[in-house]
Structure 1
Amino acid sequence: MLSALCAPAASARPRLRGCGALISRLRRASLATQAAHSKPLVIGIRREDKNRWERRVALTPAHVKDLIAETGAQVIVQPSNTRIFNNASFVAAGATINEDLSHADAILGIKEVPIDKLIPSKTYVIFSHTHKGQKYNMPSLQAFLDKGIRLIDYELMVNQEGKRQVLFGKHAGYAGMIDGLHGLGQRLLALGYNSPFIHMGQAHVYPNLECVHTKLRHVADIIEDQGLPDAFAPMLFTFTGSGNVTQGARAIFDDLPHDNVTVDELPFIAKDRYNERYRRRLLALQVGAQDYVERIDGGPYSREEYREHPERYRSVFATKIAPYTSMLVNGIYWESKYPRLMTAKDLAHIQRQRELKTRMLAIADISCDIGGSLEFMSHASTIDSPFFYVDAVNGLEHKDIEKPGVQINSIDNLPTELPFEASKHFGDSLYPYAKALALGDLKHPVLSRAIICQDGALTKQHKHLEESLASGLRVVNTRRKRVLLAGSGMVSQPLVDYLASSKDTDITIASNDLTEAKRIAYQFPNTVAAHLDVSDSAALDQLIKDSDVVVSLVPAHLHPRLADVAIRRGKHMVTASYISPEMQKLDQAARDAQVSIISEIGLDPGIDHCSAMKIIDEAKERGAKIRSFISWCGGLAAPENSNNQIGYKFSWSPRGVLTAGLNAAQFKANGQMREIPEGKLFENRFSSVPLYPGFAFEGLANRDSLQYADPYGLDLDTMDTMFRGTLRYSGYSEIMDCLLRLGLLSLDPKSHVSAASATEFLHRAIGMSKSSGDLRHFIAHRLALPANDPLLDRLLLALEEFGMLSTDASPVTAATSLDAMSKILQNSLKLQTGERDLVCLFHEFGIENLDGSYDVQTSSLVAYGDSESGETAMARTVGIPAAIATRLLLEDAVTTRGVIRPTTKEIYEPLLKRLEGKGLVFAEHTKSGVHNSLQRRMKWT
């Protein structure tokens, strides 16, 4: 007998008219009646796969055991190694573990189900996020219809009064408050203050709520015994909203010693801030709309009027409550018709006031309403990266815990951090309806009210979704973006962070290192990992065909292969690498295919082009002429971490760094054309580059500087200087030149390496045998240096730092000596935990004005990596520009076609503006007179 829960797919049966339709309805009614008296149904429980943190389950093993005992139903559970309850516990409860749920009549889950995993003709019970006509999930609703699925949504399971019966209740509030206290402790420590909150961990580190309350009691004891930081007392926690979310947050907070206060008391408390009581107790303020809005005309507040005519009201939270608040715990439901709780302008006003530097330290935005009640809450954070910071004064958003800004925690799947209690609570509320479902009782009022669609059609109460469905599909088809990231190297994390923050964008990270790709992808619900083999033409073609924009971070020599497929498939592409001759050959084909391939969009090349073109175009617009252009850029270890003989550590491809030192170079300086042959850069270095007195920089010419005169629109014949260079700390080039002369940087295929250790490789590469004698004298002879030359001391120390003088027998295998050195240096000179890197970019322009006067204009950027998170400045300044360029292509903001650089205003102008939003801001200065010129002060060896 067919179950009423297993109606055939709509697409599999003909549309009936007249009597036929009546017979069909009678038949379905008959089947439903029979189902109530038939054997119990098969219930499936699906594995949650939206992201790796989703460990909840709709029914716990205890619920499953009761369900089987009380109904006789069979339960099939998909296996999972991440679910809070393991597979064995479900087996012990009487369930069957099976990947295949096709034998189940009804399938229970939590989050949305990927369309390709929906099984036709089943009943699904999930949070579908479709009943409000959410545009981003309209394709999912259409799939339910097309596959003849009955969809029951938890959000619609309500009683006669309309109160929801199945929900996670207060668990978002629990987790949000725990994470908020954890973040506050971290933030205070970063500001230089120990606090009791430093002992709080993030919610997911606690096995259960009992452990959380135990920890809170410990923290409470510390507050009462040792007190709070004097500089931040009194510490006021302001709670908005009164629903389950806020109740959950209060249930956590209320374990701590506190006094409840009112809005009217705040000014008096502030005047009494040195009261000893405030050192050992927190303050809690619960506010509603009546506390933070006022009528614009000054009239009295009316709850009914506010709901009917919110346009008559404005928020005064920023002036009335925020100046006293240490942490805001936001749990309100907000709609666009209501005034915002706080705007970005409000926050900036608070942050400008010196006396409020200890206020508005943190926001736990449990409601996670992006751009909602808090205008500056720009995106949802993740469990892996729970906090970001908003510096509204400078219009910046960043992740540096030590920099100015309010800390924001805005995780949108908080209950997943407490999967045990959340699943138990949810299962308790779901169980009566799961029991009815197992018995085939779809007439149960709570279940019947929650059916969105069945038999290939929307139910009567949801017919209004037909319009949203149609228009939503059109919007999604034009707005849903797909990015293929080819490669998962050292700069990919900030790029993915930026792109994944847009909920209209899906990202596939394709890499030959699938483990690394998965590590990054699992941090975001809209990101997946895939294996990449560039030599597999069919697989590469499929990956590119399914994308809108390809971002290539593979080795530079592979870019043309990806670009060729992208052009053939009509897909845009982004890469940070220099435009090679092979890439340039694809320019016309890209133009013909109406494809934009934005290249040289990292740091150098990349944002150096953008900042340079801004000044060049501005000069031209006022009729001035560029007479000289000097550009220096370097990715280095921060000075305090430059603790080796070359003062360098690798924050990007070691092979790229080493091969750059082998290039030829040409430039124009002081009216003369200069050329440096291949392999001669190190001995023709600039021994002094005086950009900043605090840095001992030397420099190397960077490839062909002259080739950029044309893209920059400069007249080389009328220019005195055209130079681009690479910065290093003083002493770098001497050691690297020695390595080059010793044959350790050879790209000759005959230098193939297969050695038992780095020491053996060294001896083979320099031609040293057992009879060669002392290493120092042998190297001195090879380099034609006196045996007592101090450079030899430095070189031997460097070789020791590289691990090439040790007895470690780690094998070294590589295609060339340079590749072997790349591997050795990547291991020995990598940034260690707690270390950070530095990026320095500096342009100088000699500008002749219309009146004949001469100005020296500079544009510079100095950025440091984050020693706490491990995110490097190099990764940020390469990954974020590439991500912004990708976003511009997704937004159809780039009209120029072909293989292009970011030298046009349509690219560099929005890119520089968006970089500022990420804290990457160029400082520009102008001085009069040629005597200020950098070119007069650089020393060339």
Structure 2
Amino acid sequence: MGSKKIGILREGKIPVDRRVPFTPAQAKEVKDKFNVELRCQASEIRCFEDDEYRTNQVTVADNVDDCDILMGVKEVPIKDLLADKTYFFFSHTIKAQSYNRELLQTILKKNITLIDYETLTDKTGKRIVAFGRYAGIVGAYNGIWTYGKRYNLFNIRRAHECFDLDDLKTEFEKVDLPPIKIALTGGGRVAKGAMEVLMGMNIRRVSPAEFLHKEFDHPVFVQLNGRDYNKPKNGGEFVRNEFFSNPENYENDFLKYAEVADLLIAGAYWDPRGPELFKREDISSPEFKIKVIADITCDIEGSIPSTKQPSTIEDPIYDYEPSQGAIEAPFNDEGNITVMAVDNLPCELPRNASQDFGRELIDNVLPYLLGEDADTIIERATIAKEGKLTPKYQYLQDYVDGK
């Protein structure tokens, strides 16, 4: 890339995000390992204090305008974007999200090179940096917290009230669940993070067949992959590659699980072309048993019809009234479903989430950013450059043009 001067941005998006791309120790490692100049923008909200960076021989300054590569986490406020720079952050533009059209328009006008963390992949298309594990950890924990609150079973601290993951784990022994059944969807980083919590709480994992047909005298959970609750419309067997390529050819088969589950933790990626997990009318059926949903994916009015809006860390839950499809105050009526749909879950454990994320950046991205990009990792992830969308992202032109 030519430049060897990197700046760690102060997060400016509201609500505030306390995560960082590099911890203080990692920032020092970047300086030493890659022989670059690194500067950290002063911040009062960051989960690591400015003095922690100074202790690690990292310069802290009010601005990082003279840096060529600027790295943050969330979208940079439009007013703060600097022309002719290279930025790394989650832009939330690759799905043509309407709320960030002006952001991408400004990036193009200011001749900014935008590299989105979400688009950084290896040669097989697998993402190489992500916060998914901590979304799963916090999402599952919040789901158990919500269930406990709804039925007055136990009191545990909120995740964001804990110092870090080790502190969070001290709450696990306080959880005392009745013999409920928990359905967890997904098989990636999110689901693995969720399973860390469920198994850490000594909730036994069972097979899909056991989940459907056996009764237990203790709480259990099942981890469901796409093949477990999707089937071809025209019969035949589930084929994973076909499902991901042409999800519109499949229909949902989740209701059999909804008829025995008490709590749903939704951690599976959903393609809008594919089937919903269930429909609004399904929720009104007497056979539909789920009363608490922790929707980690938080696709608004997507695969889960009760996820009508995102919730916040400060106000994490709401009730869904199925007959009218309306949002109500939590725990308003026993016939409602209580929904946890916080859309920035890793922010509740920012120190751990930042540690893992920074490690992936150092190991999987910086060698190609600051050296030879032989596998075109940086090139494939670059959305905008020299005032234009790159060829891979030309599909966003109508979005940019407001069409």
User: Is TM > 0.5 for Structure 1 vs Structure 2?
Assistant: yes
Alignment check: 8 A CA contact 1:171 1:422 kept: yes
Change (3 A) 1:421 1:308: closer
1:462 paired residue number:
393
2:47 to 64, 81, 84: 84
1:375 to 305, 316, 322: 305
Provide the C-alpha distance between the structure 2 equivalents of 1:452 and 1:339, rounded to a whole number of angstroms: 29
1:408 to 339, 347, 351: 339
SS across alignment from 2:222:
strand
The equivalences for 1:680-695 within 5 A come to none
SS across alignment from 1:254:
helix
Provide the C-alpha distance between the structure 1 equivalents of 2:84 and 2:244, rounded to a whole number of angstroms: 43
Alignment check: 8 A CA contact 1:121 1:148 kept: yes
Provide the C-alpha distance between the structure 2 equivalents of 1:67 and 1:156, rounded to a whole number of angstroms: 22
Change (3 A) 1:286 1:323: same
What's the offset of the Cα at 1:168?
A: 1.5
Alignment check: 8 A CA contact 1:348 1:391 kept: no
Please give the per-residue CA displacement for 1:20-56, whole angstroms capped at 9, x wherever unaligned. Answer: xxxxxxxxxxxxxxx4xxxx72211111121344100
Q: Which amino acid aligns with 1:288?
A: N
2:156 paired residue number:
200
Provide the C-alpha distance between the structure 2 equivalents of 1:151 and 1:395, rounded to a whole number of angstroms: 39
SS across alignment from 1:81:
coil
1:847 paired residue number:
none
Alignment pair present for 1:316 and 2:253: yes
1:337 to 257, 260, 273: 273
Q: Which amino acid aligns with 1:260?
A: R
1:107 paired residue number:
70
Alignment pair present for 1:249 and 2:185: no
Alignment check: 8 A CA contact 1:187 1:402 kept: no
1:287 to 212, 216, 224: 224
What's the offset of the Cα at 1:367?
A: 0.6
Higher relative contact order (CA 8 A, sep 6+): 2
2:151 paired residue number:
188
SS across alignment from 1:245:
helix
2:87 paired residue number:
124
What's the offset of the Cα at 1:214?
A: 2.4
Alignment check: 8 A CA contact 1:388 1:408 kept: yes
Please give the per-residue CA displacement for 1:208-234, whole angstroms capped at 9, x wherever unaligned. Answer: 111122221x236xx4xxxx44xxxx3
Alignment pair present for 1:264 and 2:194: no
Alignment check: 8 A CA contact 1:41 1:440 kept: no
Change (3 A) 1:106 1:386: same
Provide the C-alpha distance between the structure 1 equivalents of 2:249 and 2:381, rounded to a whole number of angstroms: 36
Q: Which amino acid aligns with 2:203?
A: H
Provide the C-alpha distance between the structure 1 equivalents of 2:15 and 2:263, rounded to a whole number of angstroms: 29
2:284 paired residue number:
348
SS across alignment from 2:144:
helix
Greater share of residues in helix? 1
Is the deviation greater in 67-76 or in 201-210?
A: 67-76
What's the offset of the Cα at 1:146?
A: 1.1
Output the TM-score relative to the length of structure 1.
0.41
1:45 paired residue number:
8
1:164 paired residue number:
127
Q: Which amino acid aligns with 2:225?
A: G
Change (3 A) 1:406 1:89: same
Change (3 A) 1:434 1:162: closer
SS across alignment from 1:103:
coil
Please give the per-residue CA displacement for 1:506-537, whole angstroms capped at 9, x wherever unaligned. Answer: xxxxxxxxxxxxxxxxxxxxxxxxxxxxxxxx
Structure whose CA Rg is larger: 1
What's the offset of the Cα at 1:176?
A: 0.4
2:31 to 68, 71, 84: 68
Provide the C-alpha distance between the structure 2 equivalents of 1:268 and 1:166, rounded to a whole number of angstroms: 39
Change (3 A) 1:313 1:440: closer
Q: What is the aligned residue count?
A: 401
1:209 to 155, 162, 165: 165
Alignment check: 8 A CA contact 2:231 2:238 kept: no
Alignment check: 8 A CA contact 1:153 1:452 kept: yes
Q: Which amino acid aligns with 2:299?
A: D
2:174 paired residue number:
219
Alignment check: 8 A CA contact 1:53 1:416 kept: no
SS across alignment from 1:339:
coil
Q: Which amino acid aligns with 2:170?
A: T
Change (3 A) 1:309 1:55: closer
Alignment pair present for 1:58 and 2:21: yes
Alignment check: 8 A CA contact 2:308 2:327 kept: no
2:262 paired residue number:
326
1:153 to 116, 134, 140: 116
SS across alignment from 1:370:
coil
Alignment pair present for 1:427 and 2:358: yes
Provide the C-alpha distance between the structure 1 equivalents of 2:116 and 2:244, rounded to a whole number of angstroms: 28
Alignment check: 8 A CA contact 2:31 2:37 kept: yes
Q: Which amino acid aligns with 1:420?
A: R
Provide the C-alpha distance between the structure 1 equivalents of 2:33 and 2:225, rounded to a whole number of angstroms: 45
Please give the per-residue CA displacement for 1:872-891, whole angstroms capped at 9, x wherever unaligned. Answer: xxxxxxxxxxxxxxxxxxxx
Provide the C-alpha distance between the structure 2 equivalents of 1:149 and 1:308, rounded to a whole number of angstroms: 33
1:398 to 328, 339, 343: 328
Q: Which amino acid aligns with 2:17?
A: E
1:133 to 96, 104, 108: 96
What's the offset of the Cα at 1:439?
A: 4.4
SS across alignment from 1:62:
helix
SS across alignment from 2:193:
helix
Q: Which amino acid aligns with 1:401?
A: F
Change (3 A) 1:249 1:463: same
Provide the C-alpha distance between the structure 2 equivalents of 1:291 and 1:365, rounded to a whole number of angstroms: 18
